[in-house]
Chain A
Amino acid sequence: DAKTTQPNSMESNEEEPVHLPCNHSTISGTDYIHWYRQLPSQGPEYVIHGLTSNVNNRMASLAIAEDRKSSTLILHRATLRDAAVYYCIPAGGTSYGKLTFGQGTILTVHP
């Protein structure tokens, strides 16, 4: 499994953009980059994933470096509900359910 490095914590103000970085320099060529988040007292929830191109969905954007060794999750306008632990997880193969979670980034959003 590819090793990931994320900041332990980050802070943001409400309605400001947040850029959450992740290094995954040992990612395999076929692994997608997945992002999950875990809100307090809940199970993780899927945020976004991508392979090479930048991706957008209703929750966030994912910017992937050209060499795929790093990626950045972008929350365009942080809300208090976005306060969570964010996990960057390279995954692929036959199952996207078999996930290796790192320590993640604790995001604090200030009102």
Chain B
Amino acid sequence: SAVISQKPSRDICQRGTSLTIQCQVDSQVTMMFWYRQQPGQSLTLIATANQGSEATYESGFVIDKFPISRPNLTFSTLTVSNMSPEDSSIYLCSVDRTNTEAFFGQGTRLTVV
């Protein structure tokens, strides 16, 4: 298994500001993934973060809005920039260390007011 810690677990932010979410894994992994779960909805993949290269974003998500860092094999950050109420969601990171299953963090519940 993999232990994934996300910080913060929740936050309330003012519109127009930015929030950086941290994801720490207890062992080295090649790829880390960031998902968004809007209220009452399923999860949507935002991007894949590889160490040493730029993140790969899914359709509908752009680097200017969701910049991602991956400084080493156990850590990644996702920033939600210039926030609006529509960004209120749960943001989750995940890894697939065993190459058969994915492990998810508990998520960061973001409310933008």
Contacts and interface: CB of A to CB of B under 8 A. Distances in A.
Interface in B60-113: 92, 94-96, 99-107
Given A87-B42, A101-B43, A46 B103 contact: yes
Given A43-B92, A43-B94, A43-B107, A96 B42 contact: no
Nearest to B4: A43
Nearest to B92: A43
Contact of A98 (B4, B33, B42, B107): B33
Contacts, number: 56
Contact of B100 (A36, A49, A99): A49
Given A97-B31, A98-B33, A46 B102 contact: yes
A103 B48 CA distance: 21
A96 B102 contact: yes
Interface residues of A, number: 19
B92 A95 contact: no
A83 B42 CA distance: 16
Contacts of B103: 46
A55 to B, nearest CB: 12
A48 B75 CA distance: 27
B94 A97 contact: yes
A95 B50 CA distance: 12
A103 B107 CA distance: 18
B101 A101 contact: no
Contacts of B102: 36, 44, 46, 96-97, 99
A96 B104 contact: no
Nearest to B30: A95
22 contacts: A42-B106, A43-B94, A43-B104, A44-B92, A44-B94, A44-B102, A45-B104, A46-B101, A46-B102, A46-B103, A87-B42, A95-B31, A97-B32, A97-B94, A97-B102, A98-B31, A99-B33, A99-B43, A99-B102, A100-B45, A102-B42, A104-B42
